[in-house]
Structure 1
Amino acid sequence: MENMKIFSQKTNLRDKQVEMKILRLRFRSLSILCVLGTLTLVLVYLPPSYRPSQLLLSGPDSSLVVKSLQDQEIEDNLESIIARENEFADIQVPAARVGQDEAEPDNAHQNEPPPAPVAESIRANKTSIQTGQAAEEDHPLSDANEHDSYVQDYPDYTPANFIEVMKDQPSQKGKDKQSVKKKKPARLKNSFAFERLGSPIYSPEALRLRAMSFPSNSTLRAFIAEQERRTQHLKTECNGFLSPATDVESKGLAPPPGLAGVHNLLLDRTNNIAYCPIYKAASTSWTITLLEIGGYWRKDHHKKNINLQSLVRQVYPKISNFAGPALTRSMTRFMVVRHPFERLLSCYRDKFEQAKKAFYYTRYGDKMVRNYRKFPPHITSSQLGMLQEQVRAKVLAGVPVHLPGNPFAEPLGPMFSEFVQYVLHAKHDDEHWRTYFDHCTPCHMSYQFVLRFEDINREGKEFIEYLNRTSQVEMRWENPTQGGSTNDVICSYYGELSRKTIQELVKKYEKDFNLFEYKPDKYLECASD
């Protein structure tokens, strides 16, 4: 018995020792995991400039990392100096003409001095680094594509020949936050809108009742009937996009993936009007019309340096498409559409042709040329990067680009075919060529009025009559296309494209064609083959 007791005690002691060893091992493992987790969080959230250099610059590819970091630092310094030069140039030259677009050079820029010697020295240092360390390697710009994450800028909807507003300079965006958060301006006390602010005669119900009191053969009643037909067509087509068919009015449909946070809708809560501005489709004219209805715009404002973007930001909030159906339920909702291919061509001619807008050239244009232009085979990738930077610097400085032999300057692009290829293959769509289906989400929220750009004079007058604002505002036309959009002009551009490329464009904008009853036939007839 005593032996059994001793054996039992030894067994229990051994079991306890084993349990203690297991507990110690678990504690050590947990401690190691905590340390590793802490190091991971530090490396993830610590700014790159404070991370240990040996973690970034170790391994077989350390030389490439060093070169990339050096090029990035030089690029950042160069851009900051060019930005300061532009700011000083703005101080020395007269105020920008009303109607200039973002970073659009004036004629006076042709007489501006060349970039400062400091900027030139940085360019020289950059060239020496590239030629000394990576003569035959790929230049960092060779992998230049569109932004990996879409950044929604405040929309630029001022055409090149618009005569009323002055645009924000891109170099000022994000620098002066106080200028963005200005106090909401007071309404013009002499305007009709101020005197009858909030009058029930402008409620959506009152507007509908007034319009239906017109004779059945009146032009206003015919306009309303056509709008009802278009909205019914939209509802039918939207149901066709869903499987199974869903009642658009009874069930909320989510906007396209990735655009729920994009703020596209302008809201006039005082006058109960919601507008989705489609850029290059009379958006400037209708935005000014909304300001005029609200009492924030006078007819003589076109003679002053009125910043339209800043004024709209102060007056009308922009809401996301996701919140649109709930916030605009009791509002008059409208949008203006245009033939998708005509709008695409207008975007190219206004923003990219001959690199006329420096902001859009540096954001997209030089990448369009780099990715889709055929270069001589003897030019290496690093040489292409330096040639691209040479043109880019001149465009940013606003000086004439005379660089014989530089393939980025002959022709100074992008060409229309290169622009179209970029539109077809870009990861993200800019608001100037984004589809109507994505931008205004007509299958997510219903619009009572869908005006057509092609007949905007007549339909615009009828819509203003429907709003009962004929005595306050008149239909404006602020964006006549230079050279027009005749069939000859259209074919001169779409003639650069093959039939296959145009068919790819048709597929990209297929929903827009179906929703808004447009046809691509005449554009297919212009194909080069």
Structure 2
Amino acid sequence: MLPPVVKKLVEMKILRLRFRSLSILCVLGTLTLVLVYLPPSYRPSQLLLSGPDSPVVKSLQDQEIEENNEYLISGENEFEDKKQVPAARVSKDEAEPDNARQNEPPHALVAESIPANKTLIQTGQAAGEEDHPLSDANEHDSYVQDYPDYTPANFIEVMKDKPSQKDKDKQSVKKKKPARLKNSFAFERLGSPIYSPEALRLRALSFPSNSTLRLFVAEQERRTQHMKTECAGFLPPASDIESKGMAPPPGLAGVHNLLLDRTNNIAYCPIYKAASTSWTVTLLEIGGFWKKDHHKKNVNLQTFVRQVYPKISNFAGPALTRSMTRFMVVRHPFERLLSCYRDKFEQAKKAFYYTRYGDKMVRNYRKFPAHITSSQLGMLQEQVRAKVAAGVPVHLPGNPFAEPLGPMFSEFVQYVLHAKHDDEHWRTYFEHCSPCHMSYQFVLRFEDINREGKEFIEYLNRTSQVEMRWENPTQGGSTNDVICSYYSELSKKTIQELVKKYEKDFTLFEYKPDKYLECARDFGRTPLELDYKVA
């Protein structure tokens, strides 16, 4: 028996030997894998034979040359003499000594084999080989790109036409801002101090206190003060905004399309269906850009305005308009909503708005027969949509999307109440113009626009240059009887939901919804009378 100490040393010695043997085996295995999976040209056996006289290198060169020649002479049609090109190549090799070519790399030998076949591409058509794959430059553009010397003899290079100076002038004219009229007052007095906001206010205050202009200014000050008082209840305290990091401020993120006349220091927030077209043209006239015959020339007003005035949105509005005369035109929210429906959606008058919103209003809120499946509804919807988009008359008896054509007023209102995003034609004034952040000095009312419009132009000192106009009026007008006939399609509950949606607009601009509630189909009727009416 060995002592315990000796026995322990022996065991440790055995473990060391085993570890060394395993390490050696791992190294040997790794080398074996490397040698096996290395490419042939990097194996030690061939690296030793890679000199200029190596038979391995010569065999690889010959193999590449043969493969290249076979590829160049291959085609759908056979040549009369397939041996012609290789024979010429062999005779050339025999004429040169081997020691003069043995130092050239293999790719040089391959490159020399290509010019020998150049005649195949140039003379293929003359030899009756029209279908040869290399004779058609259109089908083998890669050969022309890779080897530009082998362009077919009948190839004609067509250069791209360079734009003429006339075309360049046309393009530059389209990008240029329209020029002001040289015979206009604005061109003669650009940036005149008499039209600055301070000068205009001082001029108005110089009139007698009982004058029409002073009364107009006093009424505008009362309206703006009322808005300022009511806005305090709509906006969170400044401390909450700073502590909670509320951004953007409520009512400011929705500001869109503010028109800025930097020369005359006027800022206008156009509200669609509230004389926006008329006042946009007036603003262009004040700036000296609008001619009276532009309407006859079918000038696109929106495109023209974008070329003249920048449209500012969101956070830039209050900062850029601080030293400007800011104004907006408002209208009773329910009357504006009805005007939007009659002008854009009734009887699918505007194809753009029908395909964007109208057919969805009908699909979501119209009652269809129970026997029509969902897939059938989709086909019927697309049938009407295609005809409206094409601008052709829609005569489809039995199609519920065409009877009546376009959404009814009740369907339109339901869509407005439940849509996730408001279109600019029915978006609230609070969101569209942000009156609680912009601090408008003038808020004109659509209902009295003829008188207030003239007074505002007098305040701007432009009476002699600007003519009052009325653009794009709704056909048929909007009398009380007409308005009530549409709102009678709605229930009192639906009208109350509309009042809640436009609550801030009613409060800020001092409108009331009472007469519209009286038009509701169930206004003043008891539940018993309603049940009887339905029965």
Same fold by TM (over 0.5)? yes
Cα separation, 2, equivalents of 1:495 and 1:519: 17
Cα drift, residue 179 of structure 1: 10
| Distance in 2 separating the partners of 1:77 and 1:288 | 75
SS in 1 for 2:257: strand
Post-superposition shift, 1:303? 1.9
- Give distance in 2, aligned partners of 1:304 and 1:377: 51
1:482 deviates by 1.6
Is 2:169 the counterpart of 1:137?
no
1: CA distance between counterparts of 2:252 and 2:77? 34
> Superposed, which structure 2 residues align to 1:218-367 within 5 Å?
218-244=211-237, 260=253, 263-367=256-360
**In 2 relative to 1, CA 364–50 (structure 1 residues): closer, same or farther, beyond 3 Å?**
farther
Q: Which moved more, 1:235-244 or 1:413-422?
A: 235-244
Which string of whole-angstrom CA distances, capped at 9 and with x for unpartnered residues, describes residues 52-107 of structure 1? Answer: 999999999999x99999999999999999999999999x9999999999999999
Once the two structures are superposed, residues 141-191 of structure 1 have per-residue CA deviations (whole angstroms, 9 ceiling, x without a partner) of 999999999999999999999999999999999999979972101111111
| Equivalent residue number for residue 499 of structure 1 | 492
Asked if 2 retains the 8 angstrom alpha-carbon contact of 1:162 and 1:479, the reply is no
Change (3 A) 1:32 1:365: farther
- Residues 159-168 or 399-408, more deviating: 159-168
% identity of equivalent residues = 92
CA contact (8 A) 2:260 2:310 kept: yes
What secondary structure is seen at the aligned counterpart in 2 of 1:298? coil
Structure 2 residue aligned with 1:158: 151
SS in 2 for 1:336: strand
Of 156, 163, 182, which aligns to 2:175? 182
Change (3 A) 1:353 1:62: farther
Identify if the C-alpha distance between structure 1 residues 521 and 292 changes in structure 2 by more than 3 Å, giving closer, same or farther. same
Q: How many angstroms apart in 2 are the aligned matches of 1:423 and 1:74?
A: 77
Relative distance call for 1:259 and 1:238 in structure 2 (3 A) is: closer
- Residues 440-461 of structure 1: CA deviation (Å, up to 9, x unaligned): 0001110000000000000000
With over 3 angstroms needed to count, the CA separation of the structure-2 counterparts of 1:363 and 1:325, relative to structure 1, is same
Task: Call closer, same or farther: CA 1:211–1:258 in 2, change over 3 Å.
Answer: closer
Secondary structure of 1:102's counterpart equals: helix
Segment of structure 1 superposing worse, 305-314 or 445-454:
305-314
CA contact (8 A) 1:227 1:449 kept: yes
The unaligned stretches of length 5 or more in structure 2 are: 1-7, 521-535
Moved more, 42-51 or 388-397: 42-51
Larger mean Cα displacement after TM superposition, 369-378 or 243-252 = 243-252
Alignment check: 8 A CA contact 2:137 2:152 kept: no
Alpha-carbon contact 1:351-1:360 (below 8 Å) kept: yes
Whether contact under 8 Å (1:228, 1:448) holds in the other structure is yes
C-alpha change, 1:167 and 1:102, in structure 2 (3 Å) is: farther
2:493 aligned counterpart, secondary structure: helix
- The answer to whether the Cα contact below 8 Å between 1:265 and 1:321 also exists between their aligned partners in 2 is no
- Stretch of structure 1 that moved more, 35-44 or 490-499: 35-44
Provide closer, same or farther for how the CA distance between residues 179 and 56 of structure 1 changes in structure 2, counting only shifts above 3 A. farther
Q: Is the 8 A contact 2:124 2:132 kept in 1?
A: no
Q: Work out the CA distance in 2 between the residues paired with 1:415 and 1:96.
A: 88
Give the root-mean-square deviation of aligned CA atoms.
24.2
- Mark the CA change 1:158 to 1:49 in structure 2 (over 3 Å): closer, same or farther: closer
Alignment check: 8 A CA contact 1:99 1:166 kept: no
SS of residue paired to 1:254: coil
Q: CA deviation at 1:298?
A: 1.6
Q: Distance in 2 between matches of 1:451 and 1:230?
A: 10
Distance of 1:502 and 1:369 partners within structure 2: 20
For 1:111, the equivalent position in structure 2 comes to 103
TM-superposed CA distance for 1:383, in Å, is 0.3
Q: Residue 373 and residue 391 in structure 1: after superposition, are their counterparts in 2 closer, same or farther (change >3 A)?
A: same
Cα displacement (A) at 1:240: 1.2
Which structure exhibits the higher relative contact order, with contacts defined as CA atoms closer than 8 Å and separated by 6 or more residues? 1
1:150–1:428 CA contact under 8 A, matched in 2: no
Q: What displacement does 1:306 show?
A: 1.3
Kindly indicate whether residue 70 of structure 2 is the aligned counterpart of residue 62 of structure 1.
no
Q: Does the CA contact (< 8 Å) of 1:98 and 1:306 recur in 2?
A: no
| Contact persistence 2:85–2:117 (CA under 8 A) | no
* Secondary structure at 1:134 match in 2: coil
Task: Give deviations 1:203-240, integer Å, cap 9, x for gaps.
Answer: 11100110100011100000000000000000000001
Which residue among 204, 212, 218 is the counterpart of 1:211? 204
Flag the 1:474–1:176 CA change in 2: closer, same or farther, 3 A. same
Instruction: Find the aligned partners of 1:392 and 1:127 in 2 and give their Cα distance.
Output: 62
Task: Using the TM superposition, give the Cα deviation of residue 307 of structure 1 relative to its aligned residue in structure 2, in angstroms.
Answer: 1.5
Conserved? CA contact 1:280–1:347, under 8 Å: yes
How far did residue 197 of structure 1 move? Answer: 1.1
Q: Is 1:99–1:167's contact at 8 Å kept on the other side of the alignment?
A: no
Change (3 A) 1:93 1:19: closer
Cα pair 2:204 2:459 within 8 Å, conserved: yes
- Partner deviation per Cα, 1:471-490 (whole Å, 9 max, x = no partner): 11022112333211111100
Residues of 1 paired with 2:401 and 2:97: CA distance?
Answer: 19
CA–CA separation in structure 2 for the residues paired with 1:204 and 1:356: 42
| Offset, 1:495 | 0.4
Distance 1:194 1:60, change over 3 A: farther
Please identify, of 46-55 and 397-406, the stretch whose mean Cα deviation from structure 2 is larger.
46-55
How far apart, CA to CA, are the structure 2 residues paired with 1:97 and 1:480?
88
CA distance in 1, matches of 2:208, 2:423: 44
Query: Which residue in the other structure is 2:529 paired with?
Result: none
Does the 8 Å CA contact 1:272/1:330 hold for their aligned counterparts?
Answer: yes
Mapped partners of 2:86, 2:216: distance in 1? 47
Q: Matched residues in 1 for 2:62 and 2:516: separation?
A: 44
Aligned partners of 1:471 and 1:58: how far apart in 2?
Answer: 99
Deviation at 1:242, TM superposition (A): 2.9
Provide closer, same or farther for how the CA distance between residues 359 and 48 of structure 1 changes in structure 2, counting only shifts above 3 A.
farther
Tell me which residue corresponds to 1:17: 9
> C-alpha distance in 2, partners of 1:373/1:429?
20
Cα 1:192–1:151 change in 2 (3 A) is farther
Q: TM-score, normalised by structure 1?
A: 0.65
State the alpha-carbon separation in 2 of the partners of residues 112 and 345 from structure 1: 88
How far apart are residue 524 of structure 1 and its match? 0.2
Q: Output the CA distance in 1 between the equivalents of 2:284 and 2:114.
A: 46
- Greater shift, 281-290 or 65-74, is seen at 65-74
Q: Is the 8 A contact 2:255 2:314 kept in 1?
A: yes
Distance 1:105-1:66 versus aligned 2 partners, 3 A rule: closer
Q: Secondary structure in 2 aligned to 1:246? A: helix
Deviates more, 1:128-137 or 1:413-422: 128-137
**Partner of 1:288: helix, strand, or coil?**
helix
- Once the two structures are overlaid, the 10-residue window that deviates more, 24-33 or 263-272, is 24-33
Change (3 A) 1:51 1:132: farther
Deviation at 1:518, TM superposition (A): 0.2
How far apart are residue 200 of structure 1 and its match? 0.7
Q: 1:86 to 1:447 in 2, by over 3 A?
A: farther
2: distance between equivalents of 1:452 and 1:324?
Answer: 22
Quote the offset at 1:39 in angstroms.
Answer: 34
Comparing 196-205 and 279-288, the one that deviates more: 196-205
Aligned to 1:384: 377
Greater C-alpha radius of gyration: 2
What TM-score do you get using the length of structure 2 for normalisation? 0.64
Kindly indicate whether the alpha-carbon contact (under 8 Å) linking 1:163 and 1:478 is maintained by their aligned counterparts in 2.
Answer: no
The worse-fitting range, judged by mean Cα deviation, of 77-86 and 360-369 is: 77-86
